[in-house]
């Protein structure tokens, strides 16, 4: 049943709520008694996420939303206000992933990643911030990535979008300096065990996966909860996330070389894979928190990184 934390009764909007980090966040906030507004593209998976909330004793509404559609995102915010009277926390989390060298991946696929991962967050901020200003308070949480701190080969669209999300967050924080009770928080997860790799667009010719060490989606969800209770500008996740955050600032060149080597040898697997657009334009499963990867990045099907 709903918990007795400081978040009980708060209104939390979560995008990308049907799987991975988003679904983990849904459960984490539901356990604390928040009232939830869930957004993702696939209606049936989103409805299942809402059912999980209700099973945990939390009130939730599910609104199928494509974050690339600014009008739809604005309608999401208005629906939250109409149902619950306001928005306390807005979590920009929906994201897609594309693997492939810049010259190998279709331009339309590259653009779609930026439209979802960056403009989806812009749309979310433009929808949430007027509500926050009318209330005089609110917390915007932008889920970035360790790949937003250090570049990596074969994921240029994702890296570019996440670098941009970090810059967007820094700029918004300055624009809101006269509103001390409106907070913009950015999260830097390391590699996380979610289905995003199985659903990614892929033009490398090989299976792909996360870099070890791989963390749980629950770790990121708990960081969201912590920021909702105690907002601060930046939040790394776990020892590996903290290491990457510090290393990227102390030695950008060394961090870039290390990330390049790790991505080539661990994210790009030995097994062949036919080119695919994944879920870039059309949502697809699996809709689960976990992608089935262990701490070393090995998949339950036995597909592992190149050592």
Active site residues: 158
Structure tokens belonging to residue 122? 């812009």
The pair of structure tokens assigned to 88 is 């306390």
**Phi, psi at 202, each rounded to 5°:** -150, 115
- CA distances 194 to 122, 162, 171, 212, Å, are 24, 17, 29, 13
Helices (runs of H) and strands (runs of E) counted in the chain: 9, 13
Of 222, 152, 145, the closest CA to residue 186 belongs to 145
Nearest-10 Cα torsion for 292, 198, 227, 78: -130
The answer to whether the CB of 38 falls within 8 A of the CB of 17 is yes
Cα separations (Å) of 155 from 37, 66, 113, 259?
Answer: 31, 22, 10, 12
Which parts of 56-181 fold into alpha helices (H)?
70-84, 107-114, 120-135, 156-175
Backbone angles phi, psi at 276, to 5 degrees: -150, 150
Sequence-ordered list of residues with C-beta below 8 angstroms from that of 93, at least 6 positions apart, any chain: 14, 15, 16, 17, 21, 22, 25, 141, 143
The token duo for 208 is: 């792909």
């Amino acid at each position: 049943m709903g918990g007795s934390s400081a978040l009980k009764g708060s209104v939390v909007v979560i995008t990308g709520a049907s799987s991975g980090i988003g679904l983990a966040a849904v459960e984490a906030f539901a356990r604390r008694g928040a009232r939830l507004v869930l957004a993702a593209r696939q209606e049936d998976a989103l409805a299942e996420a809402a059912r999980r909330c209700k099973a945990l004793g939390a009130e939730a509404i599910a609104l199928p939303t494509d974050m690339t559609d600014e009008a739809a995102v604005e309608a999401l915010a208005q629906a939250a206000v109409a149902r619950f009277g306001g928005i306390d926390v807005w979590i920009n989390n929906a994201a897609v992933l594309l693997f492939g060298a810049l010259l190998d991946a279709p331009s339309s696929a590259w653009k779609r990643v930026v439209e979802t991962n960056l403009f989806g967050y812009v749309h979310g901020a433009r929808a949430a911030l007027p509500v926050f200003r009318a209330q005089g308070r609110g917390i915007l949480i932008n889920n970035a990535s360790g790949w937003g701190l250090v570049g990596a080969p074969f994921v240029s669209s994702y890296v570019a979008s996440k670098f941009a999300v970090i810059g967007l967050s820094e700029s918004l924080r300055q624009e809101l300096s006269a509103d001390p009770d409106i907070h913009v928080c950015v999260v830097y997860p390391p590699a996380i065990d979610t289905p995003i790799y199985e659903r990614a667009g892929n033009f490398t010719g090989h299976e792909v996966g996360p870099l070890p060490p791989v963390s749980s989606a629950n770790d990121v969800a708990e960081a969201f909860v912590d920021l909702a209770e105690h907002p601060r500008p930046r939040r790394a996740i776990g020892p590996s996330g903290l290491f990457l955050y510090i290393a990227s600032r102390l030695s950008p060149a060394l961090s870039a070389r290390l990330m390049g080597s790790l991505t080539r040898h661990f994210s790009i697997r030995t097994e062949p894979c036919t080119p695919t657009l994944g879920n870039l334009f059309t949502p697809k499963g699996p809709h689960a928190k976990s992608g089935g990867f262990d701490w070393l990045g090995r998949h339950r099907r036995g597909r592992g990184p190149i050592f």
